[in-house]
Homo-oligomer: A and B are copies of this chain.
Amino acid sequence: MSWTAADAPGLTLAGDAQVAAGVVFGANVTVHEGTVIGEGCAIGDNAVLGKQPTLSAGSTARRGPLPGLVLGAGCMVSAGAVLSAGSTFGGHCVVGDLASVRERCTIGRGVVIGRGVCVENDTSIGDNTKIQSNAYITAYCTLEESVFIAPCVITTNDNFMGRTEKRHALVRGALIRRGARVGGGATLLPGIEIGEEAFVGAGAVVTRDVPARKLVVGSPARVLRDVPDEELL
């Protein structure tokens, strides 16, 4: 069931939100101030678009006014998803049920953000990258184009876990190069770089950078072999 903005049940639409032609809504959608929804987007039941961040007193995320959330044409946002103000999505992205994307993220075109995924603040995701269900992409990550993140992957960005003042300068998320693939449940330590078209096996704990086109497995992860040519982009 979907409806236009004129007749969607339970729709709460900020006065200055922009809704392009052909946009449809499920039930009980909330659209916050300044949100821009591109042509032909479909927004699922209970989705929350463009909310302002909820920061704790001690949060190190930047503060200050944020521009509205921007969704490019043809995006599909599924039931219960929560997207924050200050982020932009290119056209034809899919956001799964109960996923979240926080503030100041730049999401490319054709990106898939799976069910239950959390993308934290200040992260950048390239075109056609896929992040599967329940993966966790921490703040200050860069995922280039055509990256594949399997379900339940874990990324981290702070070796000091909230202690010392110098940590603020050292927080660094993952840098995942074009076409790399990271297997289900793998954990990446702070600041790890995964090279182009590299492959991280399921369940690996990655403590060092992974060279381009190498396959790593284990805890801690070690290079096992090259990625086969037939699996390259």
Contact = CB atoms under 8 A, between A and B. Distances in A.
Interface in A177-216: 181, 183-185, 187, 189-190, 199, 202-203, 205
Interface residues of A, number: 77
Most B C-beta atoms less than 10 A away, residue of A79, A100, A156: A79
Nearest to A112: B56
A131 to B, nearest CB: 11
A136 B44 CA distance: 22
B54 A96 contact: yes
Interface in A105-124: 110, 112, 115-116, 118, 120
A10 interface: yes
A193 to B, nearest CB: 16
Contacts of A57: 92, 110
B26 A28 contact: no
Nearest to A162: B148
A205 to B, nearest CB: 4
Given A26-B51, A164-B231, 20 more contacts: A10-B27, A26-B30, A28-B28, A44-B51, A45-B51, A48-B79, A80-B98, A118-B133, A133-B136, A138-B151, A148-B162, A150-B156, A150-B158, A152-B154, A163-B230, A185-B205, A187-B202, A189-B203, A203-B219, A205-B219
22 contacts: A10-B28, A27-B28, A28-B28, A28-B30, A44-B48, A46-B48, A48-B79, A48-B80, A54-B76, A55-B94, A56-B76, A59-B112, A100-B115, A102-B115, A151-B156, A154-B184, A156-B183, A156-B184, A161-B183, A163-B181, A218-B219, A218-B220
